[in-house]
Structure 1
Amino acid sequence: MSVDLVHIRQVMAEADCLYSNAEVEVAIDTMAAAINSEMADSNPVVFCVMNGGLIFSGKLLPKLNFPLELSYLHATRYRNETSGGELFWKAKPEISFIDRDVLIIDDILDEGHTLGAIIDFCRHAGAKNVRIAVLVDKTHDRKARPDLKADYVGMPCVDRYVFGYGMDYKGYWRNAPGIYAVKGL
């Protein structure tokens, strides 16, 4: 499959910046303070949802000032496309979280299919309490489960196709230093 880098560069050139790098960093600091306040004594297992949660986790984790165990999981519905399909597990967690508090760190809560499946997996595997931290919570009425809410949210986001800080456009621009919306999407 050949990638049209001209198109990929054009997407970034035309994108709308929704949140600057500085605004994202402030949101992460605020989330870290809340997590420190609420989870410091819980000895949690923290899961980074790959690949989207990688950059956000890398920014958030050094700001958490309590002991925790870190692992990752990789479940996706997108596979470098712009719309989701069936949930696909690329890597399930390898650390036990029976009777443990779990904090799942992900880039975005959109419709919630992937996060919902991950929460169900953790609860079924014996987690005592499951909390969710997302950098972006997309505002719309298409949530897969109306009761699915993130415990920690960096910032709300309009209902557009967004990328940056771990979120991608066709596998690209996860490294964008801010949150951007694709023109026309």
Structure 2
Amino acid sequence: MAWIGRPGDSRSRRNGRPRRQRWPQPNSRRLCPSMAEPGPELPAGAELIAGEAEVDAAVRVWAERVNAALQGEHWVLLAVMIGGMVPAVRLAAALRRDLVLDYCHLSRYRGREQGGEPVWLRRPPAELRGQRVLVVDDIFDRGTTLELVRGACEAAGAAQVLTATLVRKRGSAEPGARAPDFCALEVPDRYVFGCGMDYRHHWRQLPAIYALPEAG
């Protein structure tokens, strides 16, 4: 955890010990409740649904399953930006192999709480021809994004395409949508953020996963 204040700053010490920053507890919306000044707050009604320790444990199991399935060498780990950036880095660090890291950018939400039509901002690179590709995204919701990225990789000539998402929403997928090959956590069908997922472009960096209140 990060220290608050500079060394020697009396405001950063209590009883001679440095004061530490803490992440929010399940019943707190304060991001840094130990700070003297009010910290930024999570959206009203946000509920913790997977704490940092639970996410860490799930990522370790996720990485073990992925690593066991990646046969052969020369895999390309393709992050789906922006949400896939955080889980892709975490997964890449946990995999015991050399990887080529690359990305594509396909957006549905663009700061909204409801997904729209997907828009390509960067397609998978042409250099994927003949390569084994592991696509990593933050969430499997309707399945539209993952299907488009998988199809684009295959169209680029990838020899093999596997998919992995950090979370999967329960019961939200379109009929016939192919589920990811690997998934770390399952979450309720609500708007979730943290661990790469955003709320109006914010909070992707949180180490835990939160959900907004159910509509209605």
TM-score (norm 2): 0.76
List aligned pairs for 1:36-47, cutoff 5 A: 36-47=67-78
List aligned pairs for 1:1-185, cutoff 5 A: 9-11=41-43, 14-94=45-125, 96-140=127-171, 142-185=172-215
> Which deviations, in whole Å up to 9, do the C-alpha atoms of 1:28-85 show, x marking residues without a partner?
1111111111115242111011110111112111111112211011101111111111
| Ranges in structure 1 where 5+ consecutive residues have no aligned partner | 1-7
Aligned residues: 176
TM-score (norm 1): 0.89
Farther-moved stretch of structure 1 (117-126 vs 84-93): 84-93
Query: Which is greater in Rg?
Result: 2
| Ranges in structure 2 where 5+ consecutive residues have no aligned partner | 1-39
Q: Which residue type is aligned with residue 41 of structure 2?
A: R
For the Cα contact (< 8 Å) 1:112–1:145, is it kept in 2? no
Q: Percent identity?
A: 35
The 2-side partners of 1:47 and 1:10 are apart by: 30
Q: Which residue type is aligned with residue 51 of structure 1?
A: I
> Which deviations, in whole Å up to 9, do the C-alpha atoms of 1:154-185 show, x marking residues without a partner?
01111111000010111111112211101234
For the Cα contact (< 8 Å) 2:125–2:156, is it kept in 1? no
By relative contact order (CA 8 Å, sep 6+), the higher-ranking structure is: 1
Task: Give structure 1 regions of 4+ aligned residues with deviation exceeding 6 angstroms.
Answer: none
For the Cα contact (< 8 Å) 2:144–2:177, is it kept in 1? no
> Which deviations, in whole Å up to 9, do the C-alpha atoms of 1:115-160 show, x marking residues without a partner?
11111111111112211110001011x4235241111100111111
Q: Which residue type is aligned with residue 37 of structure 1?
A: A
The 2-side partners of 1:172 and 1:145 are apart by: 31
